[in-house]
Amino acid sequence: MDNEKKSKARRNYEPDFKAEILKMLISGKKVSEISETFGIAENLLYRWKTLSTMKTKTKTNESEGSSKLVAENAKLRAENERLKTD
């Protein structure tokens, strides 16, 4: 029985809590300070920060792509109307 591995229960954090921690990280507070204060592993804080930046980059790329499609669609509609009248 002593050789059995004890599994640690995974802690779940609320999205609002994560957002507050990310604000602290972005504002320049040290990861080590946040880790000690809230009892969260430093590597987890770095992971949250990385995932957050990846999500914002994806959202930015999607919005840029959709605005290009809207502009192209408008251009093609105008050209289509011009061709119909000719």
Q: Is the whole-model pTM more than 0.85?
A: no
Cβ count near 6 (within 10 Å): 4
> What's the pLDDT tens digit per position in 53-78?
887 766 666 666 677 777 888 888 88
Integer Rg of the chain from CA: 24
What is the secondary structure of 5-24 as a DSSP string?
PPPPPPP---HHHHHHHHHH
Q: Domain residue spans in the chain?
A: 12-58
Q: For residue 11, what are the contacts with CB-CB under 8 A and spacing of at least 6?
A: none
Mean pLDDT of the chain: 83
Determine contact, residues 44/10, Cβ cutoff 8 Å.
Answer: no
Q: What pLDDT score was predicted for residue 80?
A: 86
pLDDT of 50 higher than 70: yes
